[in-house]
Structure 1
Amino acid sequence: MDLHTLYLYLFYGREQDSKHMPKKNKVAASDNCQKELAETKEAAAASEMLHRNLIDYMHNGYACCRVVTEKGRPVDLIHVEVNKGYENLTGLKNVIGRKITEVIPGIADSNPELLENHFRVVESGIAEKFEIYIEPLHKWYESTIYCPEKGYTVAIFDDITKRKQAEQALQNSEKKFRSITEQMSEIVFITDSSGQISFISPAIEKITDYKPHEVIGQRFTDFLSEEEVPSALSAYKEVMLKQSTTHVIVLKFMRKNGTFFFGEVHVQYYHESGYSGTIGVIHDISERNRCERTRIEYEKKLLDGKQFLQNIYDTVNHSVFVIDVLPDGSYRYKSINRLHEIRTGLKNEAISGKSPREVLEPDVAATVTGYYDRCIHKGSSTEYEETHMFKGKLSWWRTILNPVRNDSGHIYRIIGTSTNITEHKLTEEKLKTLSFAIQQSPTVVVITDPEGNIEYINPTFTEHTGYTEKEVIGQNPRILKSGLMEDSVYEEFWKTILAGNVWHGEFHNKKKNGELYWEDAIVSAIVNQKGVITNFVAVKEDITEKKKLWVDLIASKEKAEESDRLKTAFLANISHEIRTPMNGILGFAELLKEPHLSGEEQAEYIELINQSGKRMLALINDIVDISRIEAGETMIHVEPTHVNKLLHSLCTFFRPLAANKNLLLSCNNGLSDEECVIETDSAKLTQILTNLVQNGLKFSVEGEVRVGYIRKEDLLEFSVSDSGIGIPESMKESIFERFRQVDNSLTRHHEGSGLGLSISKAYVEMLGGTIRVESGEGNGSTFIFTLPFNPPGVQTPEHHATVTESAPGSLRGTTILLAEDDAVSRILIKRSLQEENLTILDAWNGRDAVQMIMQHPEIDLVLMDIKMPVMNGFEASREIKKLRPELPIIAQTAFTSKEERLKALEAGCDSFMSKPINKQKLIELIRLLLHK
């Protein structure tokens, strides 16, 4: 019998059919065959007994399971064989033939990874080893899983609960260690294998004035006198290489105020749990060793500046530059580190020995020289922010200058460190944009501190109550109390929001002029990353008139109740949609202030702020769109639209999102590329399809989303189908209404304002079509809308070639005046226009803009910010039009209301652009106004 057959006998107790025997055995004498088979069975039985005994008497737990599948997918495990160790280690009995989810109730919810590990091993055939805490059993296990045969797994495991408890005891021991070191007068320290300080006792502050958090994460050489660094590094290497248990060295340390003290350092090698470094104690022996140390100091030579800097350069993650202060008070660049070369494009050899004027532009050189003078005058660190043009890009930097003194106390050198904060500045601008959105909110927004004192109100608050910002900041909202509400309402209110929950209700309040009014309010907590309440945000609406109408229209009670429910759900939804990204923005913006963040952490927090900002801007765009539709301000821009290209771009954009959700996104064209061009509003058609595809992807967990169109006589019929949750029959018509969603509850699983379908329906009807939905609850949905099929006039090949060859006129030689007081906005606009070869002149306020027009007749166009100091954009535009009536002016502002646009036009502006500025639209508008 071959090894494979014998293995199956040993492990499964199965007999191999005679057809697996070699052919020569079949023709052997019958009695020999029977004898051999009997001997083989006897050997297999003996081996199986040995196998059984080994399993039963091993200390480890053993379990052989068969995978249970449903619809081709693994869903559970059935116990086939276990040993006594299984029962001893788990306490589970009579498990053979039973599913693991039956034997350990709740295991699928508490430890889904256990089943996933088994399924993955069966699928890959690769054994896995891991540790896991089984919550229902309250035990830790170390387990190895392998697949003996397709569809089966074998797990060998051991109880490691005591080891885990020992690890916890070790952590408690570390706490005791910290408690002891906090009571010691000597400085206790621990460094890692690279010399970076990972622990320092509180005594550091008493001796040096440095706080522990200012020292942890730094190299120990950063706190030594310059001449001590080589000997300290030599001693450190000796301790690490020889793993010394005791090493004593006296070093000269630097206090935070720049003075020095002598410390006797007792240090030894430290190794535990894969972590190695040094641990030691520093005794302050300044007085005892002062005379001896002074003699040693004068015998040593000062280290060369370049060697000193090299030690620093190798350990810091900042741009570093060194400036020599010459006896005549002038400055010469000594060197820059490699990181500074990479970030700026400057070369060390190109600037070494040169003055600021030889390296920088005259005005920049004058500015930085002023900072160097200030550092020398102060005699301590100097911090400032500056802008520089490096590698053709304008960037923001935060720079710190530190003076270096010689033995006589004279400052002979300055060491500067710079951090690129361009991303941070751009993020601040995005936060400012979001702040503008809240400022313009038609609902009242109030933010308080944890005690309920007002920290922020938007202008709508003043309009509704009559109280100005000055009158309420720092006050409690009880100044609005009318005294007509029961105390139980306020008690329930505080109980709810202090628990971190959302409170929704009505207040009967009093305005500044004594007028009583009702408001509908939603109040919730903003919680930081540590789960602590940092603020409360309230979104409120004046419902006084609604209350009156309720009395007057009592006969329409049922309809009014439905309207109130919808408005309440919408306000709750909007509050949630504002609060969630605001929580992310405020929370991570706060975290960015932490002094010891790594570059990766800063980038991560900035990306999370960007994501929250994009989500909030999307919400604002929906609200603005629906407001324009309601006000009848939406315009139709009909142009030839290539439907196939539009669909292709849309699917290309959404495919990554679909792939992340394991969904298939397909795109089907109904006409050829030559036939698919129609006259319609391309932007609105794109928005309609975008809203429908987003809904399909949002509400689908598996399956696919299909988008396409067909021609039906003089109509194009578009459809977007998904395999999502579907829509109840009763909701098919109402989902297109304002503020309607299938799920309006606060526990809904999908974010969004609930305005997308309403906007889509309005746009479809504007374009001359209709929209409907075909759906069944749980069976997916298909949204179908029509547009007129009105292709443009057929073009001849010659005409087509002419259109292809035509191009917009060049803006080269054009001079533009940019009136903008915000530095980041100015940078963004200049960067957007730099490829157009324009000449751009700057004005920081409206008065400067008027002066520039008088002094520069070559100016061809003005980009005018509306909100500026000294003189605003409206006043400046009127003055400029008096001087040069023909000069085009484009107003640009974060305010987008109809009133703002009218005020801009009345002031003489020729056009209007909303922030954030769209680069392509701005260039097209400039060309249009200049007839380029």
Structure 2
Amino acid sequence: MVNHEAKTKEQLIIELEALKQNYNSLKVSYESDLAKSKQNEIDLQISEAQKRAILNGITSNIAFVDKDLNIIWANKTAAQSVNKNPDEMIGCTCHHFWADPAKSCENCPSVKALKTKKSEHILKYTSDGKVWVECGEPVFDVDGNIIGVVEIATDITDLKSAEETISKSEEKFRSLYVNMIDGSALHTLIFNDEGVAEDYRIIDVNPAFENMLEISREAIVGKTSREAYGADKPPYFEIYSRVALTGEPEVFETYFALLGKHFSISVYCPARGSFATIFENITNRKKTENDLSTILTKYKVLFEILPIGITISDASGNIVETNQIAETLLGISHEEQEKRKIDGQVWQIVKPDGSPMSASEFASVQALEKKQAVTNVEMGIVKGNNHVTWLNVSASPVPLDGYGVAIVYNDITEHKEAEKEKERIQKLLEDSQKVGKIGGWEFHIDTLELKWTREMYNIHEVDLSFKPSVNQRTNFYTPESVPAVNNAIHRAIEYGEPYDLDSEIITAKGNRRSVKAIGKPDLENRRIFGLFQDVTERKRTEKSLQESEEKYRILVENSLVGVVQTKLNGEVLYVNAAFVKMYEATSAEEFIGKTMTGVYKYSHDRDEVLRLLRKDGRVDNFEVVGLTTKGNEKTRLLSAKISGEVINGLVFDITERKLTEQALKTSEGKYRNLFEKAQVAMFRTRMDGSKILDVNEKLLQTLGYSYEEMVETPSIIRYNNLEQRKELIELLQKTESVANFEVEILKKNHSVITVLMSVTSYPDEGILEGSFIDITGRKLAEEALQKSEAELRELNATKDKFFSIIAHDLRSPFNSFLNFTQIMAEDLPTLTMTQIQEIAVTMSKSATNLYRLLENLLQWSQIQQGGIPFNPKEVQLGLIVNESLEMIQTAGQSKEIELITAIPDGLNVFADTNLLQTVVRNLVSNAVKYTPKGGKVTVVARASDEKNVEISIHDTGIGMSKAMIENLFRIDIPTGRKGTEGEPSTGLGLILCKEFIEKQGGKIWVESEENKGSAFYFSLPHATQPAEETINPQPSPSEKSNDVRKLKILIAEDDDVSEMLIESFIKTFSKDVLKARTGLEAVNACRENPDLDLILMDIRMPEMNGYETTKQIRQFNKDVIIIAQTAYVLPGDREKAIKSGCNDYITKPISKAELQAVIHTYFGEKV
């Protein structure tokens, strides 16, 4: 309400000022007319022609009458007012034309002027509603005698209407001003002699102002602020003077301590040097805000310190607030949470059973839908690494406009894990009892209640519905077991004696079982509890063991292997007959009770056996040299194991075998020496490949294995290609000997070597013996030579291609270009404008072709050197294609070729922007080049699958033969041909396209028939996420050149030709063009012209390059658009320009279309 009234008052004051200005304008016009009339009187002596010209140009009615009021002369305006010409009025009286016949002429200003001999004027209202000012100005001769009167009549209807409007508006304004709810005051600035504002005077205040500030109107109106308020310094003078001088309104809040009130003060300027203020009392609002702030502070403290997670949503389910505990419990930052909805799909919530929980089951969603509280919903939130935090969640609606629900949750993960652990332990106990067949029981003495665990039911083979009772306890025991059981229970109850009984029961299914019953009295709590174990299997095992021991004793006694048993201290307890015979004794008694010391020849053998027994508890196949009772030396293998308090041992006599081995070792020594020292790799394997039996040192060195790693391992894994081994075996089966067989073998480090292998087979023994030499180096040298030859051929083809381009494709355009420039230089005066235009167009085309050729050569050179930068990212395909097509519009329009695009919105690819633009530009340029006038070129794109996007360029051109298609992307075969209108071609563009597409993970192919057009296809990786920019159809430069407002532009360029070209390109966009030749000049020009719209910044300038110049400008001007323009085309130049502060980047030579397109990018929408 307050703001509305203030706004209305402002509008009235502005309207009032406008009316006053209109009035003043009319008044000035009127006075000007009067001044002109007087000047005419003074200048009556000028020439008649001049007089007529001046007076006829005045819009007021002017006539000169003599003393008899006869018209001597009248201007055209006067004549037109009575539909006459001036000559027709001469000789007639003025009253004949303008006087009211019904009224007297006494009040006529001309009549009065003749009488009074001074100026006279009256207001005259006509019947058509107009108001006139009529003036009579006496005219005297040189003697001072009156000779006539100049009559002037001026229409002031508009001025009178404005005065009435002002009067009415002032009444409305005054009424509104006096009855305003907000306080208001009008002021004017007071200036000192130097013209500097130093105070302000209060012109008027309304009643609301008096009430709010508790001051009377009479006490302050007409006074200065210092006088009115008794202040040393005018209150708020800085703000008030700024508004009065700039005309910009301001609003600020302040506190009047003496009144204890808060005010919002709006200040505006009704006229320069004056200002009005509107005071709004906001004390109650401030108090409400402070109270609300206190409540919010308390709420915020509770919100953050409560040990539970809290989340608030709006009415649409969007999360609007969350506390720190919520971040911790959910594992999601509050920024990320506030991007989500409570029923969003991104939540990974599971039910207590681990299955996914749908959003409709969330406590928050139910509370929002049902408009009622939902409590104690248990759910788990899945975090990283599939970790689940379990929560107890409650939600309730928030009864405030715009709010949804409040959700609280606490972490019950530890509680859940404790319950789970309890269940696990209980299950473990039950499983243990089941495995051990141990049941538990408890008997309450006073109530006679008997309780069993689950395993008790299993042991007795009864269903879980069976009710055990003390009266039935003996029903399961066998008759012979009952007395002992009853006695044990009786003594436990009477004397508190525990018991441990072995007895037997007969189960409910009639099975007989051996059991162990253990009972422990707890008389303090009047109960007995204990264990009940099924030991049937153990009893059966013990019986079987006794029987097995008897069988074992008979077997050991008759064994041919020596068996011995000793105590841990070595005292012999038992030896069998074979042992007695082995040591040439007569009976076992010769060893019983004695130690084993006498059976070892060497004490260190005995010490080592004892050490191994102490360490490992056993010893296996330990070779010892011992003595018989007769002193004979024997070699034996000893195996022993500690079993409880005894050591059991086995002794094998290997004396004969040792002698045989020694003889064999001697015979093989010579062969082994030759085998080991051979300089070729040698091996022995089983024919079936199951084992490598032996290898020499050379083979180990060649393959990188140790001997232990090679021997006794399958030989098949050493072959890189098992088919080669299969072929080798097939040859051996035919000839039993193969020489110089080439095969690939794997080394330990998994590298592959090529060897020449010679192998001999011994079918009867199933053994292969062979050798090989490593020829990998020789093979690599052969391959390197072949590769070098291929690279040399490709290099020669590249060189030939390059020289062909230099010799023909580059030289021919230069030849034309040079000849035409020579013609222009020598024959220009004799050429017609048409001939000059034709030469200029031809030179422009030649220059364009030269530039494109040079650009392709540079890019090709960068490819050869690996210098093409590659920065793939997600980009909008449609935007890139449209930008690329803008560069080809001119060529297409010149051939009247229709360029069509069919690219779905939102289709994104993962590609390098520069490389992609080069590909599209080349392919579409070729399509235009080989399409006759009036043809059509279409660019189509679609997602071929989830991973790839297919882009195709179709034309209605001349097509290609199959032979040309096959060689299209080869550097060594020329495929270039002229376009339909003689356009040049090198074939280099397609090679660049292939390189760039494959670099981005795509491929290119072509479909074409002669005279039926061509279709080039290429693929790129599909980017499924939306790119940063939105594709908006862009009009061509020719369509939008008239849309840009006139700009103030600075050209920072040290090259005269470049400066001249740029200035000509931008003349349709510019209102002012400033120029700078150095970086320092550019900085100073920008500092002196803060209203610059655009800077075209050359990178290579003296004193300071464009990068540094841009950085310095950005220190004081963040808004001006800066476009870098340079002949550099090095990798990273664009990124360097953007990093320095440039908005965009274009390369030289600059095309007019490209420059205009860039300017429209930043200024096209501002007109």
Same fold (TM over 0.5): no
TM-score normalised over the length of structure 2: 0.25
- Higher-Rg member (1/2): 2
The higher relative CO (CA closer than 8 Å, separation ≥ 6) is in 1
TM-score normalised over the length of structure 1: 0.31
